[in-house]
Structure 1
Amino acid sequence: MHPLRKALHNELHSRPSIYFRDPANVYHFAFADAEDLCDALVERLNQTADAPLATNGSQGLLRLGEDTLKWERHTEFFTLTLVVPRTPGDECWPPLPAALETLVAEYRHLLINADQVLVESEANWAGNTAAYGFKDPSGSTLGGGDAIAWSDFRLGEDGVNRILLVNRRLNAYRLGRMIRRLLEIETYRMMASLTLPVAQAVSLQLKEYDKELTSLSDRNAEGKSSAKALSGDIAALSARIVRSTARTRQRFSATEAYAQIVFERINELRESHIDDCQRLGVFIERRFRPTVRYCAATDQRLVRLGQSVANLGDLLQARVQVEVEEQNSEILRSLNARADTQIKIQKAVEGLSIIAISYYLLSLFKLFYQGLHSVGVDISAKTAILVLGPVVALILGAILLRIKKAKGH
């Protein structure tokens, strides 16, 4: 058996829902960036609880008197869910039990989401959402008509979002899963919305980056700026874009994942219209989807801007390469011109050398001819020319042949 088989298989059961029956109040809290506080929170919860029901590294169930408390550890947040049974006629929106209120108050600066769900039976609910303090609420039948949910998505003075769920035909298991979906929609929606301020800040930076990129593109197109200065400016802009990408990549990726979970949970509600109310899922999607699209568009703008800067760098590199090739061509043309000049000079020197050698040979033969006359040898000038002319020609020919062979080598 593979050593990880059991652990991986048991992931199917690692995060069970809390199963309960109506009526009840459900309190849900999500703390962002609470990784360092998880262990301390869990320790304090274990001290407060009457008895642990089930626990593992990522979640735990605790008993607080008649109440059931569940904690869950996630990658970027930590959640607490408390189910408090109630009896018909009790206060609709009672405050959080004091023991948990003290704990939550200490970490309120990390609280990213707080929900309170009032679960009523169809027989005992007031029949009018106004009785529960809602103003123009959205509502839907859930689970094919087995439950009804309302909420106006307005925060109370305590910063809590309130949801009313009227149970028609849900048993304890389905009720627990339905409540979990509603709470996950709100929690993941808020975690995804954490990226909105980041995207807005990045958008302001992108405007400056776009202006700088346009300026650099114009300078590159005009060709007036030196390649060295332009390359330095492009590298500086690229470094800032890479830094922004590195700082926001994880946040934008998280928003995409969280948003997908939100939309999946909305589909799992299996909503249908009730009266003239706008459905819960429609209300959330119409207001939440623009946030997701804005974050995705900002991320895409950042990626495309980085690609544009890289393309501009490639264009500058091509321009520099062309300039270098032109300089090399000029150098080659200059070298060719110098070689041609040297060849012409060499030919002129060779011609002059032949003339000088011919002159010296003729002068030498003249002296030889005069020497012959002085010793009494009578040779006519015509005969001397006929004899010595070919000799001079042969000597010059031999000299020219040696010069030609030297050039060949």
Structure 2
Amino acid sequence: MRPTDHPLRQWAVNEMHLRKFAPVPGHCEIYQAVRLLSADDRHKEDGRLMGDKPDFDEWAVRERYAAGHCKSGIHFLWERHSEATTLTLILPNGGTEEANAPYIRWLEEWNGPVIRATRVFVIPDASNIDQHLQTHGMDLNELVCSDVSGDLRIWSDFGIRGDGYGRLIATAGDVSAPERGRIIQRLQELGNYRNLALLGLPLVQEYGPKADALEAQLSDHAERVALAEDGAHDDDLLQELIEISSKLEVIRSATGFRLSATAAYAGVAADRLAGLSIKTVSNLQSLTEFTERRLVPAARTCSVFTDRLARIAERISRVMHTLDVRVDTRIKEQNLILTKRMERSIQLQFRLQSLVEGLSVIAAAYYLVGLIGFLIKGVWAWPSGSSADLVIAAVTLPVIGLIYAFVHRTRGTVLKETDLESN
């Protein structure tokens, strides 16, 4: 009984078998081009793969890989990467220019700018290497020569000729055609990833002065923050710091993807270089020396620039935190002053209230004495005294009772409305 597969099992297997290089005969010519493609170019590329193309006896297309083969020995490979496309055309020795021309033209008319294009000439042995070097116009002062994977020897000056291609000569070595294909693939991938990794360096050179200016502004700003102890210009300083932070984010947005890609491509190139088991040839520049001479410094420069932007962001965060703390402290001080003022106001109101209460006692005593006086006058006027005094004495207590009842009722109504609003 077959076990239940994980949904990604088949994908993982296909991924490991993806991008297999075709077998390379011992005497042939290889065209390879790496093109950077935009979203629009991707749609055109799909049309080329599925539409008008040269005749192939075998043709297979997958999502990110396509392969074509002719009985005459011609192989075509297409590989889609995250931002680039690699096109490879293997032409066996003995084919006519007329037969090869449609395939070469199809490859060269592909859409997207070329980041690397190479013509690799595989020869049986190195017996006539001087003639080959002269035929392909190799610059002997820039010549790179190494033994790769033990049996293959390569020569190249890694320059660009008038047709837009570089030149690389490789001996067939004592290996099988599939193994030779894998070695050529690693060799080409080393050059492809090297060029892709180097794309980050111009960005660093372009935005480096802008980062210098930001650091100078930030240093000046930090000094002004330290000197502005009274906090009078904190709002202006904070606004300037926000502007510096915005400029930094513009730089990071413009360089972030490319610098991350540079780190990844440089790592893959280093892996390919190590996998080629390179051996030096006496008195000639080795492939390791040529690759590391510029790739390693460029990759490290990009890495340092990335770290530099991160450090600038950290400095901005620290300065902003300092400003935030100072603004917060100033607000707390203002709140403390306001609280003290409110406390003094409450104390003053309390004193005034005490004074009013004292005066109210005097007023209450005065009116109470008056009311008692009205009652005494009424008693003394009974039965034959003044009629006015008798009337005033008679209505005094009822009036006091009516006023008390009115106040009590009004107070109850107000408290009841307050309870309803609270609920």
TM-score grouping bracket, smaller chain normalisation: 0.7 to 0.9
Alignment of 1:198-213 (within 5 A): 198-213=203-218
What CA deviation, in whole Å up to 9, does each residue of 1:194-224 have, x standing for no partner?
A: 2222222221221221122123212211216
- Aligned 8 A contact 2:28 2:123 in 1: yes
Structure 1 residue 26 corresponds to structure 2 residue 9: no
Match of 1:390 in 2: none
Which has the larger displacement, 313-322 or 289-298? 289-298
Structure 1 residue 50 corresponds to structure 2 residue 53: no
Match of 2:21 in 1: 17
Query: How many aligned residue pairs are there?
Result: 354
Structure 1 residue 138 corresponds to structure 2 residue 141: no
Alignment of 1:186-205 (within 5 A): 186-205=191-210
Which of these residues, 309, 314, 319, is aligned with residue 302 of structure 1? 309
Using the TM superposition, give the Cα deviation of residue 314 of structure 1 relative to its aligned residue in structure 2, in angstroms.
0.9
Report the CA distance shift for 1:9/1:24 in structure 2 as closer, same or farther (over 3 A).
same
Structure 2 gaps, min length 5: 367-423
Quote the Cα distance in structure 1 between the aligned partners of 2:356 and 2:83: 89
- Structure 1 SS opposite 2:121: strand
Give me the TM-score of the superposition, normalised by structure 1.
0.77
**What amino acid is aligned across from residue 289 of structure 1 in structure 2?**
V
Using the TM superposition, give the Cα deviation of residue 225 of structure 1 relative to its aligned residue in structure 2, in angstroms.
5.3
Alignment of 1:7-406 (within 5 A): 7-33=11-37, 34-44=41-51, 47-64=53-70, 65-86=72-93, 97-107=100-110, 110-122=113-125, 124-126=127-129, 130-131=133-134, 132-134=136-138, 135-136=140-141, 137-143=143-149, 145-223=150-228, 226-338=233-345
Quote the Cα distance in structure 2 between the aligned partners of 1:72 and 1:281: 26
**What amino acid is aligned across from residue 24 of structure 2 in structure 1?**
F
Structure 1 gaps, min length 5: 361-409
**What amino acid is aligned across from residue 329 of structure 1 in structure 2?**
L
Quote the Cα distance in structure 1 between the aligned partners of 2:19 and 2:329: 63
**What amino acid is aligned across from residue 196 of structure 1 in structure 2?**
L
Quote the Cα distance in structure 1 between the aligned partners of 2:295 and 2:8: 39
**What amino acid is aligned across from residue 24 of structure 1 in structure 2?**
C
Quote the Cα distance in structure 2 between the aligned partners of 1:221 and 1:160: 58
What CA deviation, in whole Å up to 9, does each residue of 1:292-323 have, x standing for no partner?
A: 11111111111221221122111110010111
- Aligned 8 A contact 2:197 2:262 in 1: yes
Quote the Cα distance in structure 1 between the aligned partners of 2:349 and 2:10: 88
Report the CA distance shift for 1:287/1:108 in structure 2 as closer, same or farther (over 3 A).
farther
**What amino acid is aligned across from residue 61 of structure 1 in structure 2?**
A
- Structure 1 SS opposite 2:21: coil
**What amino acid is aligned across from residue 262 of structure 1 in structure 2?**
A
Give me the TM-score of the superposition, normalised by structure 2.
0.74
Match of 1:379 in 2: none
Report the CA distance shift for 1:203/1:123 in structure 2 as closer, same or farther (over 3 A).
closer
